[in-house]
C-alpha cells in the first residue's frame, strides 16, 4: 500500500463515520482526491507510516469507529491508537466468545433488554454506555433483532441515542462474523 492509497482509505473511512450520506461499502472506499493534492500535503509522512502498518485498514476502522474526529497523526504515531487496534483485533478474533460473555451481562429476558421505559434508556443501551458490553455486541443485537427501528422512533429526541445511532449503523457493516452463528448463540443463550 502506498501513502496515497492510505490517504484515500483514511478519507473514505472518515467520511463514512462522520457523514450520513457517505457509505464506505457502497462506494468501495473511493473518494475523489488527486494524487497531486496529496503530494502537497504537509502530513503525508503520517500516511506513509500508516501504509507500512501490518493492517492499516483495521487500524483505521478500530480507531475511527471509536472516535471519528481523530486526525491521522493521532492514529499513525500514537500508542493509544495501537492499543485500541489490539483490543479491537482481539474482539474480532473471538467474536463468538465476546458475544457470549456480553449476553451474560444483560437481562435474562431477551425482550426486556430492548424495552424503553419512561425517561430511561433500554437495558442494552445502558450496558453499552456503561462499558459492560462491546460495540460489536450491541450492533449485532440491534441488527439481528431489528430493534433499531423501534428505538429510532421512541428515542428520536434523546441526545445520547441520537449521537450513537449513526455510530451503530455505520459500524455494523464492518463486523465480519457469521450472522447465522451469532443468531444461534443468542437463541441458545435465551432458551
All residues at 6 or more sequence positions from 108 whose CB lies less than 8 Å from its CB, including other chains: 190
Same domain for 70 and 41? yes
pLDDT at position 118: 84
**Which CATH number covers residue 105?**
1.10.220.50
Same domain for 59 and 98? no
Same domain for 76 and 47? yes
In the predicted structure, residue 119 carries a pLDDT above the cut 90: no
CB-based burial label for 120 (10 Å; 0-12, 13-18, 19+): exposed
Three-state DSSP state, 71: coil
Same domain for 170 and 83? no
Same domain for 88 and 139? no
Domain boundary among 64, 92, 120: 92
Contact of 177 with 144, CB cutoff 8 Å:
no
Same domain for 113 and 186? yes
Same domain for 42 and 118? no
Same domain for 7 and 73? yes
| Half-sphere exposure at residue 126, Cβ-oriented, CA atoms within 13 angstroms | 14
pLDDT at position 85: 97
In the predicted structure, residue 95 carries a pLDDT above the cut 90: yes
191 — pLDDT class (breaks 50, 70, 90):
confident
Q: Structural domain of residue 59, as residue ranges?
A: 3-92
Same domain for 86 and 115? no
In the predicted structure, residue 187 carries a pLDDT above the cut 90: yes
| C-alpha–C-alpha distance, residues 60 and 72, integer Å | 9
**How many domains is the chain built from?**
2
Same domain for 75 and 106? no
Amino acid at each position: 500500500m502506498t501513502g496515497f492509497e492510505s490517504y484515500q482509505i483514511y478519507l473514505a473511512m472518515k467520511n463514512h463515520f462522520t457523514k450520513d450520506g457517505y457509505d464506505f461499502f457502497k462506494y468501495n472506499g473511493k473518494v475523489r482526491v488527486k494524487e497531486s493534492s496529496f503530494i502537497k500535503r504537509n502530513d503525508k509522512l503520517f500516511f506513509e507510516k500508516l501504509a507500512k502498518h501490518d493492517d492499516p485498514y483495521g487500524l483505521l476502522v478500530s480507531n475511527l469507529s471509536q472516535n471519528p474526529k481523530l486526525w491521522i497523526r493521532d492514529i499513525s504515531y500514537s500508542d493509544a491508537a495501537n492499543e485500541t487496534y489490539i483490543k479491537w483485533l482481539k474482539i474480532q478474533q473471538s467474536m463468538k466468545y465476546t458475544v457470549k460473555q456480553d449476553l451474560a451481562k444483560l437481562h435474562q429476558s431477551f425482550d426486556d433488554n430492548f424495552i424503553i421505559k419512561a425517561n430511561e434508556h433500554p437495558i442494552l443501551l445502558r450496558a453499552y454506555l456503561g462499558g459492560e458490553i462491546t460495540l460489536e455486541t450491541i450492533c449485532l443485537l440491534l441488527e439481528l433483532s431489528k430493534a433499531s427501528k423501534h428505538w429510532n422512533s421512541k428515542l428520536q429526541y434523546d441526545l445520547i441515542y441520537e449521537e450513537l445511532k449513526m455510530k451503530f449503523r455505520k459500524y455494523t457493516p464492518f463486523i465480519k462474523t457469521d450472522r447465522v452463528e451469532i443468531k444461534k448463540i443468542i437463541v441458545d443463550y435465551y432458551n
